[in-house]
Amino acid sequence: MPLLVPINFLKLNSQTRKTIQCALYNLCFSRPKSQSTSIPKKQQRVRDHGFDNYMEVEKKTRKVLKFQSLILSQANQTLPASRLDTLARRLGFKQFEAGAFVLKFPHVFEIYEHPVQRILYCRLTRFAIFQIEGEKQALAAQIPDAVTRLRKLVMMSNTGRIRLEHVRIARSEFGLPDDFEYSVVLKNPQFFRLVDAEETRNKYIEIVDRDPKLAVCAVERVREREYREKGKDAEDVRFSFVVNFPPGFKIGKYYRIAVWKWQRTPYWSPYEDISGYDMRSIEAQKRMEKRAVATIHELLSLTVEKKITLERIAHFRMALDLPKKLKEFLLQHQGIFYVSTRGNHGKLHTVFLREAYRKGELIEPNGLYLARRRLGELVLLSPRKAKVNRELVGHRRDRGDDEMEGVRRDFLRNDLVDHKNGIDGDGEDDSYLDLGSDAGSNFTDREDAASDSVSITLGR
């Protein structure tokens, strides 16, 4: 048992008396310390198979798009099979890999024999051409929305301008056409103007006038909907985000408390000018951290598919005041964002907005998203189904010549009677449409016959 030696408190110096007073105060009046309630900076990434499966399909469609652009760049939009392997090496394919890749997707690529030259050619199928035309139409139809998205993107920058080259790299994600510099920027001088930097040769897109109506984030509209429809507490919803943790994510008691405190922390809007604030306090740093989350959230909301690669977000890091270590920052908020490494052997990081997806599908799809998803559907169609389609066409073609001649004779007789009357059921002469459709069916039969002969030649 230790000996208790009496101490004369008055004989001690001032520094010692102050130390003993602080120790007695902490012992008598302070509460027991609890674990930290701050969100951990480094967290282990938990996989979500819904988003990873989405990226597996994206990996295939990315290669298919490279082949499509290669075929469309040719003179007659056809490519000789003998040059297929040589040109595919420029796209990153290995030797003798291009032929197997083309045969793997018969609903997108078609191998046929030239009727005169008697050599094999590769071209796009009708389904692939229809998909490309549908995507072009959807892209042209949503140009007014693309103008609004670009305006909001430039308004979020700290200087009111964004480098043109960075927007060009991410034009597909924001639904901008290839010639957006002319069709979007220069055609709308009331919204944008192109400026050249004095110190460099880079071009910048600068906003002409800030519209207060556009300075409303997507998460603010979600909060208003939750407040009005679900009747949540206004104080809890005021600065909160929609948080959906991935399956298997471990949430402890202290982590839940930290998330609850973080949700109630105020922050500055991504569209607000913060140049006049003092950033040296801890409160300002917390607001800036949450503002970065809101900025990335708004950036993903402006994209067509509510996703963008991490490397392209890094292009806007300086203009949007984002942190340097973006991957660690996003992994810190796995309930809001999901970072997928699928699609390019782990070298490509794709960031998804979790609240915009359900089971790997966009909750509120748009026309451009649906047009791009049709290509994924063609890629996922089984080659066996393509073989069944050819067999059905062959069965139609194998009907007797006498039967087909009787059908054509009856068709022409009815058409002549309608032409003599000068009117059909709708009051217009549409006989040329019927003849055109019959000619198209015969052309289809000849196409499928060539496809069957190629399949037999290739041993497929």
Q: If 0-12 CB within 10 Å is exposed, 13-18 middle and 19+ buried, where does residue 269 land? A: middle
What is the 8-class DSSP label of residue 76?
S
- For residue 101, being part of any structural domain is answered with no
Which residue range forms the structural domain that includes residue 152?
Answer: 143-212
Instruction: Answer yes or no: is 83 within a domain.
Output: no
**Low-confidence winner among 231-245, 249-263, 356-370 (lowest mean pLDDT):** 231-245
Q: Do residues 208 and 221 share a domain?
A: no
445 has pLDDT over 60: no
Q: Which of 14-18, 239-243, 331-335 has the lowest mean pLDDT?
A: 14-18
Q: Are 198 and 233 within one domain?
A: no
Looking at the DSSP bridge assignments, the partners of residue 246 are none
Asked if residue 440 has pLDDT above 60, the reply is no
Statement to judge: residues 319 and 425 lie in one domain: no
Residue 198 belongs to a domain: yes
Query: What is the predicted pLDDT for the residue at 439?
Result: 37
Residue-wise pLDDT for 38-83, tens only, equals 576 667 778 888 898 899 899 889 889 988 998 998 888 888 888 8
- pLDDT tier for residue 182 given thresholds of 50, 70 and 90: very high
Residue 59 lies in a domain: no
Pick the last residue of a domain from 180, 212, 244.
212
Flag whether pLDDT at 460 surpasses 60: no
201 and 164 belong to one structural domain: yes
Residues 240 and 325 occupy one common structural domain: yes
**Distance of alpha carbon 257 from alpha carbon 264, whole angstroms:** 11
User: Does residue 373 belong to any structural domain of this protein?
Assistant: no
Q: What share of the chain is helix, strand, coil (3-state, %, to 5)?
A: 55, 10, 35
Band (226; pLDDT cuts 50, 70, 90): confident
Residues β-bridged to residue 353: 337
Q: Are residues 224 and 331 in the same domain?
A: yes
pLDDT digits (tens, 9 = 90+) for 271-308: 998 888 888 888 888 899 999 999 999 999 999 999 99
How does the average pLDDT of the chain come out, rounded?
Answer: 78
The secondary structure element, H or E, covering residue 446 is helix 431-458
Q: What is the pLDDT of residue 383?
A: 73
Whether residue 305 sits in one domain with residue 442: no
Burial (0-12, 13-18, 19+ Cβ within 10 Å), 184: buried
- Residue 458, pLDDT > 70, answer no
Kindly indicate the confidence band of residue 434, based on its pLDDT and cuts at 50, 70 and 90.
very low
Judged by average pLDDT, the poorest of 181-190, 400-409, 435-444 is 435-444
CA–CA separation, 351 and 310 (whole Å): 6
Q: Is the pLDDT of residue 444 over 50?
A: no
- 222 and 358 in a common domain: yes
Express each pLDDT in 397-420 by its tens digit: 444 444 444 444 454 445 444 444
Residue 352 belongs to a domain? yes
| Same domain assignment for residues 263 and 360 | yes
Same-domain status, 226 and 357? yes
Shared domain check, 347 and 267: yes
317 is a domain residue? yes
- The verdict on 283 and 206 lying in the same domain is no
Contact partners, residue 402, CB within 8 Å, separation at least 6: none
Tokens of 313: 């977000």
Q: Is residue 36 part of a domain?
A: no
Of residues 14 and 417, more confidently modeled: 14
* Residue 12 pLDDT greater than 50, yes or no: yes
Tokens 């969100």 identify what position?
A: 39
- Domain count within the chain: 3
Question: Where does a domain end: 338, 365, 392?
Answer: 365
The answer to which of 238-242, 340-344, 392-396 has the lowest mean pLDDT is 392-396
Domain boundary among the residues 317, 342, 365 is at 365
130 pLDDT above the threshold of 60: yes
pTM: 0.74
